[in-house]
Amino acid sequence: MHHLSTTELESGLDEIRRSPAAEGPLEMIVRRPDVDERESLQEGELSCDDGLVGDNWKVRGSSRTDDGTSHPDMQITIINSRFLRLVAPDSDQRPLVGDQLAVDLDLSESNLPAGTRLSLGEAVLEVTDQPHTGCKKFNARFGVDALRFVNSEVGRDLRLRGINARVVTPGLIQVGERVTKL
């Protein structure tokens, strides 16, 4: 897989900044049944208890909780689909990013502060204050420049690595449905 340089990544910023602020399509649903496994779905079910049903979020746990259990404010991770297309031009590589949902929506803190609710299909998600940063897996899959880019000032402002959310209303979701800021 070709890793983009910082210059190549920066060249995509104008397109990313054109992401809609209020409503955009859900472009990808990815379930992670086990570590490093990915299942691309056309339809998924969101649950208040399990996040994306069939995903390993609940059993995987978190280093951000005192007891190592899953973090309730990190049930669902969402990435901007324009950034995802930039960093992973090959659509087969996009599920490797690790986020369950890819949406064409401005994920910046100024547009979606913690507490903002998003409706999609029958479900409602709430953006949480938990940061979503790149890790060694992101570095290995997309390169050191991509990792530095998502954690740069502009990358953090636009939340290029994505956001964390929790399910507040369960329901079915489908690729192509509108994600609407409430």
pLDDT tens digits along 95-123: 989 899 999 999 999 999 999 999 999 99
Q: Are 98 and 32 in contact (CB under 8 A)?
A: yes
Cα-only R_g, the chain: 15
Query: What's the number of domains the chain is made of?
Result: 1
| In a domain? residue 146 | yes
Q: Specify the pLDDT at position 99.
A: 93
For residue 157, what is the domain's CATH number?
2.40.33.20
| In a domain? residue 125 | yes
Mean pLDDT, to the nearest integer, of 130-158?
A: 90
| In a domain? residue 145 | yes
Rounded to 5 degrees, φ, ψ at 40 are -80, 130
- Looking at the chain, the whole-number percentage of residues with pLDDT higher than 70 is 98
Residue 76: CB partners within 8 Å, gap ≥ 6?
A: 46, 51, 52, 57, 100, 101, 125, 164, 165, 166, 167
| In a domain? residue 1 | no
| In a domain? residue 88 | yes
Please give the biggest Cα pair distance in the chain: 42
Report residue 4 CA to chain centroid gap: 20
| In a domain? residue 87 | yes
Give residue for tokens 């449905």: 177
Q: Is the pLDDT of residue 135 over 80?
A: no
Q: Specify the pLDDT at position 7.
A: 96
pTM: 0.94
Q: Specify the pLDDT at position 68.
A: 67
Count CA atoms within 13 Å of residue 10 on its CB side. 8
Write out the residue range of the structural domain in which residue 37 sits.
6-181
